[in-house]
Homo-oligomer: A and B are copies of this chain.
Amino acid sequence: MHVRAFIEEMERLAPPYLAEDFDAGKIGLIVEGKTTIETVCCALDATPSVVKRAVAGNADMLLVHHTPLWTPLTSLTGPTAALMRDVLASGMNIYVMHTNFDHAECGVNDALAELLSLENTESMTLGLTGDCSLSVKEIANRLDCPVRVWGKIKKIQRLAVVGGSGFDPLFIAEAKERGADAFLSAELKHSVYRAAPLPCIEATHYALEAPAMKRLAAQRDWRFIDDAPVLHSVP
């Protein structure tokens, strides 16, 4: 498959116009390599470990959610130089789907809803709400990460979920209005918690976004390369 055909396919899946403005220039074909794509690998981040495993697996394309070139650069030094050396020397392409995939129909939040068996889902500005039959413990199990519960939860009937760093006061207010009992996302700030009208379940950024990449890989018969944070709770 020519790289142009691959790009067209990905743009159908996660149209670039769905991306937030801050993603301008930071999605799509971020590193250009070979023009023929046979082997595709998929991961959440292009970490050094992910890149080495993809290159070792002769990947022609590495599809990720987070670009490795976020901050505009005028030099290639340190870890970025090392990473780009591995990528460019191998001829592997890197393609990024970020907030366009967050907003896409079969994207990040849809994968979360499936993983958590949410029913009767309803879209929000970002993320969605759905009927939830899981306990917090079961949610943590499905996500495969410890979670922190802020506030008191008796029983969750309607759960709001936003993949990534989604604890925005506006989103929480919207979830409340739509009847949610709890809000699941990552990276909760103290000041947001203080004003939150709903109890918050804080998982990790990785645990909420990796499922969408993993599911996509499974659907297309690509290899998913897992690289979860090393994390444990004490006590």
Residues in A lying within 8 Å of B, measured CB to CB: 25-26, 28-33, 45, 47, 66-67, 69-79, 81, 84-85, 88-89, 91, 136-137, 140, 146-152, 165, 186-191, 193-195, 204-206, 229-235
Contact = CB atoms under 8 A, between A and B. Distances in A.
Contacts of A33: 81
Given A88-B85, A186-B190, A232 B148 contact: yes
19 contacts: A29-B75, A30-B74, A31-B77, A69-B73, A70-B191, A72-B72, A73-B74, A76-B84, A84-B84, A84-B88, A88-B88, A146-B234, A148-B231, A148-B233, A148-B234, A150-B229, A150-B230, A150-B231, A187-B188
Contact of A45 (B32, B147, B194): B194
Contacts of A25: 74-75
A206 B190 contact: yes
B29 A152 contact: no
A163 to B, nearest CB: 12
If over half of A's interface residues share one DSSP class (helix, strand or loop), that class is named, otherwise mixed; here it is mixed
B30 A75 contact: yes
A102 to B, nearest CB: 14
Given A88-B89, A146-B234, A233-B148, A191 B66 contact: yes
Contacts of A193: 229
Contacts of A88: 76, 81, 84-85, 88-89
A2 B226 CA distance: 38
Q: Which 5 pairs across A and B sit closest by C-beta, in order of nearness?
A: A72-B72, A190-B205, A32-B77, A85-B88, A233-B233
Contacts of A74: 25-26, 30, 67, 69-73
Given A74-B69, A187-B187, A187-B189, A149 B85 contact: no
A212 to B, nearest CB: 15
B30 A76 contact: yes
A32 B45 CA distance: 23
Nearest to A23: B74
A32 B233 CA distance: 38
A85 B186 CA distance: 34
By CB atoms of chain B within 10 A, which of A147, A152, A190, A230 has the most?
Answer: A190
